Amino acid sequence: MKTWDEVYAHAREKCNICRCCPTCNGLACRGETPGPGGKGSGSAFVRNVEMLSKVFITMDTITSNEEVDTHADFFGHQVSMPVYAAPISGIRQNYGADMDDLVYTEELVKGCIDAGTIAFTGDGMYDDMFKGPLEILKKQQGYGVPTIKPWAKEHMKWRMDLAAEVNALAIASDIDASGLTNLRKSVTPVGFKTVEDLKELKQMSHVPFILKGIMSVKGAMKALEAGVDGIIVSNHGGRVLDNCLSGIEVLEDIVKAVDGRMKVFVDGGIRSGNDVFKALAFGADGVLIGRSISHAVIGDGAQGVKIYLDKIQLELKEAMAMAGCKRIEEINKEHITVKW
């Protein structure tokens, strides 16, 4: 079995655009979109990683010798840990790897299942960019979360119906893509959605419906009013708006305001099991990882994903052990110190 360092070195050889830096922190690729970077000055991507590094885990080693358990629940499905693969599209254009999005999705979904967790899959401006990944989920009994762009309602509806047909576990929509100029001008344009629109979409969805790209208490309250089942606190890896806060900074206020009425996930800059611990300590129900899991797929397909996620799980277990937490539900704000 390869090590993560070997998988990552392999990804570096295969990528002509992404540099696969020792720490994937958005500094070298500032503004590179297309590419793996953050939009404009790249500050939002950089901030995602930077702010997580200013959160410290508090040790508590006077505790029982009970084994640490990282298992969690995702809308009634048990997962090995509350860590999911974020939807990523355009592997060729963004990383410069010789891999199309379908092969990427196939390896991603398999790797996540092998590691005991779940992949969110992507969408694109041509219908096949949604249908293709869905065929892959179908082969895995729907074990994944198709993520639909905020197209016009009729285009979202047929996608939701197809997702239900393959027994997808849940459906997400990256509503923060609604402001992206290239997608607003695409064959099927995306558009902003009101609370009323979202209520209708929730009615159309036959499974839990998750909104990705919520970055404020106000946004979370609108999502709650729309009746969705969960939100992902996310700035899209810093790719939709320059000069915005990181998800980790706004997470705690959102969790408090939501007060358990829907699931709250977070992503952006999560690179280690310690980062996962920090996000859970702020109250997240789970986290998504984008770029590092892409590197894992490019480096060694499904096996690379399993190697990466096993590493994350081990780090999370070690962090939990040192903080005196035996179960995911025990991790809370008392276990971290924030130096912002």
Ligand X SMILES: Cc1cc2nc3c(=O)[nH]c(=O)nc-3n(C[C@H](O)[C@H](O)[C@H](O)COP(=O)(O)O)c2cc1C
Q: Which of 142, 144, 286, 290 binds ligand X (CB under 6 A)?
A: 290
Q: What stretches of 175-285 adopt beta strand conformation (E)?
A: 209-214, 230-233, 263-267
Q: Which of 234, 246, 274, 313 binds ligand X (CB under 6 A)?
A: 234
Residue 236 appears among annotated catalytic residues: yes
Q: Does 105 bind ligand X (CB under 6 A)?
A: no
Q: Does 122 bind ligand X (CB under 6 A)?
A: yes
Q: How far is the CB of 59 from ligand X (least distance, A)?
A: 26
Shortest-Cβ-distance residue relative to ligand X: 290
Give, as one character, the DSSP assignment of residue 172: E
Instruction: Out of 10, 155, 236, 335, pick the active-site residue.
Output: 236
- 158 Cβ contact partners less than 8 Å away, ≥ 6 residues apart: none
- Using the contact rule CB under 6 A, the part of the chain among 85-93, 111-119, 126-134, 201-209 near ligand X is 85-93
Encoded tokens for 179: 């402001």
Sign of the alpha-carbon torsion through 270, 182, 138, 229: positive
| Phi and psi torsions of 35, nearest 5° | 125, 180
98: annotated binding-site residue?
Answer: no
260: annotated binding-site residue?
Answer: no
267: annotated binding-site residue?
Answer: yes
Q: Does 146 bind ligand X (CB under 6 A)?
A: no
In angstroms, the CA 68 to CA 94 distance is 38
Q: Which of 32, 101, 107, 174 binds ligand X (CB under 6 A)?
A: 174
Q: Does 89 bind ligand X (CB under 6 A)?
A: yes
Q: How far is the CB of 290 from ligand X (least distance, A)?
A: 2
Q: Does 212 bind ligand X (CB under 6 A)?
A: yes
Read off the amino acid at residue 326.
K
291: annotated binding-site residue?
Answer: yes
Residue 13 sits at the vertex; the CA angle it makes with 10 and 17, to the nearest 5 degrees, is: 125
Q: How far is the CB of 99 from ligand X (least distance, A)?
A: 12
Q: Does 289 bind ligand X (CB under 6 A)?
A: yes
Q: How far is the CB of 311 from ligand X (least distance, A)?
A: 15
Cβ distance 146 to 130 under 8 Å?
Answer: yes
Exposure class string for 80-118: b at 16+ Cβ within 10 A, else e? bbbbbbbbbbbbeebbbbebebeebbbbbbbbbbebbbb
Distances (CA, A) of 79 to 83, 119, 221, 227, 317: 8, 11, 28, 25, 15
213: annotated binding-site residue?
Answer: no
239: annotated binding-site residue?
Answer: yes
Q: What's the count of helices (H) and strands (E) in the chain, helices before strands?
A: 12, 12
List interacting residues with ligand X (CB under 6 A).
Answer: 36, 48, 86-90, 94, 122, 147, 174, 212, 234, 236-237, 239, 267-270, 289-291
Annotated binding site: 212, 234, 236, 239, 267-271, 290-291
Q: Which residues are catalytic?
A: 236
Annotated binding site for glyoxylate: 239
